């Protein structure tokens, strides 16, 4: 059924349809309307879950970690500094291999305070080991949330579903709300193998030595490095799992089919702009204008960022003349994080495209189509070798 609602409500609706059992959250803009909606679902009886109004984001993730360890489906949501406050817990959740799902309404990070959108918050968490999916519109938000629960529980790794603060979280768009029965069939009940159970006691997240060690039965158990190695291998394997899940989703709901990257007019393109989130859709307008001017350009939106779909990206960009990576995040002192990752993915190609990096929109700076048009035209008409430092769009530096 099609409804018109905000991105945050799309996310909340996905969480409700996936039947999250324990929800904990702390208010932070621009995530707040999502958790307000969930508290309403729970209080009104539309969602049979425990809603815990915790006193911090650190505690929100603590509740999710414990509830998930005890065998229930757990969800939280946050933004910006709230996500950073959770950092220790993010590592803990994935180290404990808990299939928690979290929405991140992307927002810039203080200091100085900003409430507006960029991607620095979730990008700063790219190495914690969580799966990161980025939605480009409201339909992708609700669909990604539903797929995220199934993915998390398939691979026992938590999943972050990220979407642009305000640009998506607070704007209203039409989207299809899947039927409950279809979602129930798609996301089966959470049945973990091991959980906190007085009938079958176990000690979870025990201190683990550097080397392997036998249990009381004499069987060797992994040391810390084996446990971490296995996490990495399982994350890499999650790429395939997500491809399967996305295929199943398309069968059931008729949407999807592009789990990793979403290409627009890329087939015959000599140039490809790359971006994450709603910016990749904004860039479609720019591509259309440039195509009218005879520039063979396309745009690729990256939807899964961790695990990094390097093969899919290298394949999509193989044979292109110039790749232009536009980012709302920066690895300070180096370059855009996506830019670095794409360069590394392209390294395997014999004939590597030229690649440019633009930083834009930090702290919600408005991104004008005209500016994008100018930057992309520059890159397409004067493709140079790889540059050491990113170019900036829309800076207003005063002399």
Partner 1 sequence: MAEKTTTLNLTEEEFVHPGNRACSGCGLSIVYRMGLKALGKNTILVVPPSCLTVLQGLYPVASTKLPCVNVTFASTGAAATGVRAAMKVLGKENVNVVAWAGDGGTGDIGIQALSGACERGEEIIYICYDNEAYMNTGVQRSGTTPQGVLTTTTPIKGKLQMKKDVPAIIAAHGIPYVATASAAFPLDLYDKVKKSTTISGPKYIHVHTPCPPGWGFESRFTIKVGKLAVETGLFDLYEIENGTFRLTGPSQRLLEKERRPVTDYFATQGRFKSLDSEMVRKIQQQVDAKWAAYKSAAV
Single out the residue of 92, 321, 363, 383 in contact with partner 1 (rule: CB under 8 A): 92
Please state, as a whole number, how many other Cβ atoms lie within 10 Å of the Cβ of residue 384: 10
Site for partner 1 in 369-398 (CB under 8 A): none
Say if residues 260 and 303 touch (Cβ distance below 8 Å). yes
283: phi > 0 → left, psi -120 to 50 → alpha, else beta; which?
alpha
Min dist CB 121 to partner 1, Å, is 20
Residue 56: strand, helix, or coil: coil
Please give the Cα distance from 303 to 161 (Å, whole number): 10
Task: Work out whether 39 is an interface residue with partner 1 (CB under 8 A).
Answer: no
User: 1 or 207: whose CB is closer to partner 1?
Assistant: 207
Cis peptide before 111 (omega within 30 of 0): yes
User: 24 or 103: whose CB is closer to partner 1?
Assistant: 24
Burial group, residue 193, by CB count within 10 angstroms (0-12, 13-18, 19+):
exposed
DSSP label of 51: E
**Distances 14 to 130, 218, 264, 374 between C-alpha atoms, Å:** 19, 45, 26, 38
- Which tokens in the block code for residue 161? 């579903």
User: 154 or 208: whose CB is closer to partner 1?
Assistant: 208
Closest among 358, 362, 382 to 371, alpha carbons compared: 358
Min dist CB 196 to partner 1, Å, is 4
Interaction pattern, residues 159-198, with partner 1; x per rule: CB under 8 A: -------------------------------------xxx
Interaction pattern, residues 40-59, with partner 1; x per rule: CB under 8 A: ---------xx-xxxxx-xx
Task: Work out whether 69 is an interface residue with partner 1 (CB under 8 A).
Answer: yes
- Total residues contacting partner 1 (rule CB under 8 A)? 47
Min dist CB 52 to partner 1, Å, is 6
Single out the residue of 11, 12, 42, 64 in contact with partner 1 (rule: CB under 8 A): 64
Main-chain dihedrals φ then ψ at residue 171, nearest 5 degrees: -90, 155
Task: Work out whether 221 is an interface residue with partner 1 (CB under 8 A).
Answer: yes
Say if residues 304 and 311 touch (Cβ distance below 8 Å). no
Single out the residue of 111, 191, 209, 397 in contact with partner 1 (rule: CB under 8 A): 209
Task: Work out whether 27 is an interface residue with partner 1 (CB under 8 A).
Answer: no
Q: In angstroms, how far is CA 211 from the centroid of its own chain?
A: 34
Using CB under 8 A, which of the segments 70-78, 159-167, 261-269, 331-339 binds partner 1? 70-78
Task: Work out whether 65 is an interface residue with partner 1 (CB under 8 A).
Answer: yes
Query: Between the CA atoms of 210, 211, 212 and 215, what dihedral angle is there, to the nearest 10 degrees?
Result: -70
Q: How many residues does the chain have?
A: 399
Task: Work out whether 128 is an interface residue with partner 1 (CB under 8 A).
Answer: no
Single out the residue of 4, 40, 46, 88 in contact with partner 1 (rule: CB under 8 A): 88
Min dist CB 127 to partner 1, Å, is 18
Min dist CB 42 to partner 1, Å, is 11
Using CB under 8 A, list all residues that contact partner 1: 21-22, 24, 49-50, 52-56, 58-72, 74, 88-89, 92, 196-198, 200-209, 213-216, 221
């Amino acid at each position: 059924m099609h409804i018109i609602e905000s991105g945050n409500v799309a996310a909340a609706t996905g969480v409700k349809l996936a039947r999250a059992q324990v929800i904990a959250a702390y208010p932070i803009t621009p995530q707040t309307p999502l958790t307000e909606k969930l508290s309403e679902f729970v209080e009104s009886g539309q969602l049979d879950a425990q809603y815990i109004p915790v006193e911090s984001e650190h505690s929100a993730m603590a509740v999710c970690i414990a509830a998930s360890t005890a065998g229930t489906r757990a969800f939280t949501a946050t933004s910006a500094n709230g996500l950073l406050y959770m950092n220790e817990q993010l590592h803990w959740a994935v180290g404990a291999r808990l299939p928690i799902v979290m929405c991140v309404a992307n927002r810039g990070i203080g200091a100085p305070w900003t409430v507006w959108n960029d991607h620095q918050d979730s990008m700063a968490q790219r190495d914690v080991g969580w799966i990161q999916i980025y939605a480009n519109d409201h339909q992708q938000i609700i669909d990604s949330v539903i797929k995220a629960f199934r993915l998390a529980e398939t691979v026992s790794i938590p999943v972050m579903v990220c979407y642009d603060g305000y640009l998506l979280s607070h704007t209203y768009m039409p989207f299809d709300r899947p039927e409950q029965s279809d979602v129930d069939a798609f996301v089966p009940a959470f049945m973990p193998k091991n959980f906190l159970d007085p009938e079958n006691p176990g000690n979870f997240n025990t201190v683990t030595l550097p080397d392997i060690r036998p249990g009381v039965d004499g069987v060797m158990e992994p040391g810390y490095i084996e446990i971490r190695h296995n996490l990495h291998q399982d994350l890499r394997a999650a790429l395939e799992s997500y491809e399967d899940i996305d295929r199943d989703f398309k069968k059931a709901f008729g949407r999807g089919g592009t789990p990793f990257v979403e290409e627009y007019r890329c087939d015959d393109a000599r140039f490809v702009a790359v971006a994450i989130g709603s910016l990749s859709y904004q860039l479609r307008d720019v591509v259309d204008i440039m195509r009218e001017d005879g520039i063979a350009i396309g745009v690729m939106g990256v939807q899964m960022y961790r695990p990094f779909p390097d093969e899919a990206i290298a394949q999509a960009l193989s044979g292109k003349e110039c790749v232009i990576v536009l980012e709302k995040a920066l690895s300070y002192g180096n370059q855009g994080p996506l830019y670095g990752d794409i360069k590394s993915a392209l390294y395997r190609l014999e004939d590597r495209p030229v690649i440019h990096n633009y930083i834009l929109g930090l702290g919600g700076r408005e991104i004008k189509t005209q500016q994008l048009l100018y930057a992309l035209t520059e890159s397409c008409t004067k493709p140079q070798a790889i540059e050491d430092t990113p170019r900036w769009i829309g800076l207003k530096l005063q002399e």
